[in-house]
Amino acid sequence: MSVLNPLKAPAGVRLALMGNEAIARGVIESGTYVVTGYPGTPSSEVLMTLHEYSEGLDLYAEWAVNERVAFEIALGASLGGARSLVTMKGPGFNVASDPILSAAYSGVNGGLTILVADDPGPITTQTEQDSRWYAKLSKLPMITPSSPQEAKDFTVVSQLLSEDVMLPVILRTTTRVNHAVSEVITGDVRPPKKYREFRKDPPRYVRAGMAWNLERHKWLNNQLKTVEGLVRKYGLNKVWGEGSSCVVVEGVSYNYVMEVLSRVESWERKIRVVKVDVLYPIPRNFLLDSLSGCKEILVVEELDPYLEESIKALLQDQDLRIKVFGKLSGYLPLEGELNTRVVSQAVSRILGHEVAEPYHDGMIKDLEVPTRPPPLCPGCPHRNSYIAMLLGIAKAGYKRDEIPVFGDIGCYALSVNPPLNAIWTEHSMGASISMAMGLKVGGFDKPVIATIGDSTFFHAGIQPLIEAVNKRVDLLVLVL
């Protein structure tokens, strides 16, 4: 963190910022007034930075009870003309997806940015979800930054683009952008854009009319046709080099590729790097122009072969016979994060000679570090809660592994590890109670326990508890 307040620094200042701090600065530079979200690594520091440094600024920032509520608050603010931004990690988009898909038909008035932070690896998430598919599913524009500087700048662009096209814009990041720290040059701050007006317009805002929905779908498809033209003024999508071996990159993959190419002499003559900042709608004209004359294409992306499939479809549509390599060809892995090692191997294959993996002087290579499961913090109260629960199971006359214990999302899931070995499942937010109920109604005849943290309980645990009480299912629910 810089010694200067990142939200109040004047324009033109160089700050060392984490990607999420840079997005918080982008909130201020874009004139965003309402910011909501639900915490989840790697997205949390955006709201944390706003809460810590925004005293005296005209800004409404809140943690919501879950991602769906967070999005709906941001949407309501936007319909009244306020610029708003909502933050969530990848699985949070699943929770918010219902209102997000409807919002694509209603559109927005004030700019509305949905920050979704994915977690290739995964480092702290239950799945390696690639939220880029949500752009296709929801038909909402999506842009992606590759650095803290772009994270800030693209936050501003996403708000302006959102108002241009009257749609929410998804800003998709990955952990290595959210948590990387690098130099960020601040820009001008816009005054916060707050409520202007909200006009009654049922065909636009009421999704109960099927004829209206059909018309709004046509409107949405027409809006999407304008995106590629609109983003040109923001300088998105770029090309470097003039070689005929082409490498398509997006997000953090750009950095891996450029670091590898720094080891290739005069790479600009052999390689062409095509950086795709707009992930949806796929920038067809930009790709056809920039890939013209390529004899082969390597696609480097995290995490699924999203761009690779799109580029193959585009080339086939144009009757262009260019070989495309990437995850589907086995040049790059389908699982886990990319790194300079696997990228250097893939680049070596398209260049036809070995490119040394870059590693910096002084860096220890191939160090064998013993792995160990993450523990609960020393003094964590969850440890005692689980010990008490296990003692209670024994006191009731059951063996430890006779009584199923359903866990939930949160630190307390670490109770799965020795020495507690407490929980049997950890699935998705709030699922402990409903899954425990399912085991009972399915015929299990011994006691069943659900353990759930308080934030997860408010997020998605209350409804399953209502369900269990309403159906009179005998469960022990521990709210931690």
* Closer of 230 and 380 to ligand SF4 (Cβ): 380
Counting contacts by CB under 6 A, is residue 388 touching ligand SF4?
no
Instruction: Judge contact between 75 and 112, C-beta under 8 A.
Output: yes
Counting contacts by CB under 6 A, is residue 440 touching ligand SF4?
no
Residue list 105-164, contact with ligand SF4 (CB under 6 A): none
Q: What is the Cα–Cα distance from 455 to 66, expressed in whole angstroms?
A: 9
* Closer of 350 and 414 to ligand SF4 (Cβ): 414
Which one of 382, 405, 420, 440 is in contact with ligand SF4 (CB under 6 A)? 382
* Closer of 48 and 473 to ligand SF4 (Cβ): 48
Q: What is the Cα–Cα distance from 117 to 139, expressed in whole angstroms?
A: 18
Counting contacts by CB under 6 A, is residue 376 touching ligand SF4?
yes
* Closer of 356 and 411 to ligand SF4 (Cβ): 411
Counting contacts by CB under 6 A, is residue 380 touching ligand SF4?
yes
Q: What is the Cα–Cα distance from 430 to 451, expressed in whole angstroms?
A: 10
CB 125 to ligand SF4: min, Å:
16
Stretch that binds ligand SF4, among 14-22, 349-357, 373-381, 393-401 (CB under 6 A): 373-381
What would the x/- binding string for ligand SF4 be over residues 326 to 365, using CB under 6 A?
----------------------------------------
Which one of 11, 214, 377, 462 is in contact with ligand SF4 (CB under 6 A)? 377
* Closer of 322 and 376 to ligand SF4 (Cβ): 376
* Closer of 234 and 457 to ligand SF4 (Cβ): 457
Instruction: Judge contact between 186 and 218, C-beta under 8 A.
Output: no
* Closer of 325 and 386 to ligand SF4 (Cβ): 386
Cβ count near 32 (within 10 Å): 31
* Closer of 212 and 458 to ligand SF4 (Cβ): 458
CB 377 to ligand SF4: min, Å:
3
**Rounded to 10 degrees, what is the CA torsion of 388, 393, 397, 399?**
-120
Residue 379 falls in which region: left (phi positive, over 0), alpha (psi -120 to 50) or beta? left
CB 376 to ligand SF4: min, Å:
4
Q: What is the Cα–Cα distance from 97 to 168, expressed in whole angstroms?
A: 12
Residue list 405-434, contact with ligand SF4 (CB under 6 A): 411
Stretch that binds ligand SF4, among 123-131, 229-237, 249-257, 377-385 (CB under 6 A): 377-385
Stretch that binds ligand SF4, among 17-25, 190-198, 263-271, 375-383 (CB under 6 A): 375-383
Number of H helices, E strands in the chain: 19, 17
Q: Which residue is nearest to ligand SF4 (CB)?
A: 411
* Closer of 47 and 437 to ligand SF4 (Cβ): 47
Residue list 261-320, contact with ligand SF4 (CB under 6 A): none
* Closer of 83 and 382 to ligand SF4 (Cβ): 382
CB 480 to ligand SF4: min, Å:
8
DSSP 8-state class, residue 23: H
Among the listed residues 219, 116, 153, the one whose alpha carbon sits nearest the alpha carbon of residue 161: 153
Binding-site size for ligand SF4 (CB under 6 A) equals 5
Q: Where are the alpha helices (DSSP H) in 107-189?
A: 132-138, 148-165, 175-178
Among the listed residues 152, 131, 153, the one whose alpha carbon sits nearest the alpha carbon of residue 142: 131
Cα first-last separation, the chain:
33
CB 375 to ligand SF4: min, Å:
8
Q: Where are the alpha helices (DSSP H) in 166-279?
A: 175-178, 202-205, 210-225, 227-231, 253-261, 267-270
The arrangement of strands across the sheet holding 405-406 comes to 405-406, 449-452, 476-479
Instruction: Judge contact between 140 and 280, C-beta under 8 A.
Output: yes
CB 462 to ligand SF4: min, Å:
20
Stretch that binds ligand SF4, among 205-213, 279-287, 304-312, 376-384 (CB under 6 A): 376-384
CB 90 to ligand SF4: min, Å:
21
Q: What is the Cα–Cα distance from 479 to 476, expressed in whole angstroms?
A: 10
* Long-range CB contacts (within 8 A, 24+) of 379-388: 380/411, 381/480, 382/411, 382/412, 382/415, 382/480, 383/415, 383/420, 385/412, 385/451, 385/478, 385/480, 386/412, 386/415, 386/420, 386/422, 386/451, 387/420
* Closer of 224 and 416 to ligand SF4 (Cβ): 416
- Interface residues with ligand SF4 (CB under 6 A) are 376-377, 380, 382, 411
